[in-house]
Amino acid sequence: MDATLYEELHRVEQAHWWFRARRRIVWSLVERYAPGRAGQRLKICELGCGTGGNLVSMANKHDVIGVECSPHALELARQQLGDRVIYGRLPNDIDLPTGCFDVVLLTDVLEHIDDDAASARTAVRLLKPSGIVVATVPAYQWLYSPRDRHHHHFRRYGQRQFAGLWRQADVETLMLSHYNTLLFPPAAAARLASKFLGNGNVAGDLAIPPRMVNSVLSRVMGSETHLLGRLPLLCGLSLICVVRKQVASGSETQRFAA
């Protein structure tokens, strides 16, 4: 992404409702599915960590490391996390040992990478046996809009397309679902309007709304924490999955939440 986008991300990611809700959802799935006992200190790697907002909230509780390819984002992330953020570029320029992490995060990263399949394999390679990947991507190619181009997205994903990235030897899909479902109708309408009305002016699209609105939106989206993996969410602005690296080779097993 452009440096201006990283600056904007750095300014808003701790307060903006979407980032707050996504962190709540992602970390709830880490707590539910990660190997080991509840409360155990985990080794967590975030690939494409941007300016580090996801890791800051958990840096005291777990052993975290972020990987980022943008020099500008790397500098901003290091302001908060120091040398726990290193340079690396997906899919192949990741200087980390195989099989050393309990959790690998890919939060809205794969859509930025041409070879997303190789990047998914890299994420799995970094896991210990029984470790998990939690990954999120934007849903529905038909929603691809000027905002996606502005954010340098190669694509948006269908559910089968996203699931196909994790059909790897010794990988089990524990949960795969749409999310950001409750706010999907107005969000989809806005994306389609920008697409068909030719509205290319998307600078500042991460502006934080008024405090009360921001709080309500965060609570609405974050409430899906209690639904994911338990009730089918048949549509949503994004997709999320949890996959596990199996201890021993075996046939692939998949259980989809939606």
CATH number for position 13? 3.40.50.150
The domain tally of the chain equals 1
Q: How far is CA 68 from CA 1, 46, 72, 220, 257, in A?
A: 12, 9, 10, 30, 30
Task: Indicate the DSSP class of residue 89.
Answer: B
Residue 201 lies in a domain: yes
Q: Note the pLDDT of residue 46.
A: 98
Q: Note the pLDDT of residue 190.
A: 86
Residue 223 lies in a domain: yes
Q: Note the pLDDT of residue 8.
A: 87
Would the pTM count as exceeding 0.85?
A: yes
Residue 193 lies in a domain: yes
**CA atoms of 76 and 64, how far apart (whole Å):** 16
Residue 85 lies in a domain: yes
| Sign of CA pseudo-dihedral 239, 26, 22, 95 | negative
Residue 254 lies in a domain: no
Q: Angle at the Cα of 135 (from 149 to 65), degrees rounded to 5?
A: 100
Residue 59 lies in a domain: yes
Low-confidence ranges of the chain (pLDDT < 70): 198-205, 248-258
Q: Note the pLDDT of residue 258.
A: 39
Residue 258 lies in a domain: no
**CA atoms of 41 and 223, how far apart (whole Å):** 26
Q: Note the pLDDT of residue 191.
A: 86
Residue 13 structural domain: 3-245
Q: Note the pLDDT of residue 9.
A: 86
| Mean pLDDT for the chain overall | 91
Long-range contacts of range 111-116, CB-CB < 8 Å, 24 or more positions apart?
111/137, 111/138, 111/148, 111/153, 111/154, 111/155, 111/156, 111/157, 112/1, 112/48, 112/151, 112/152, 112/153, 112/154, 113/48, 113/154, 114/154, 115/90, 115/91, 116/154, 116/155, 116/165
Residue 251 lies in a domain: no
Nearest to 205 by CA among 157, 138, 148, 155: 148
Q: Note the pLDDT of residue 194.
A: 81
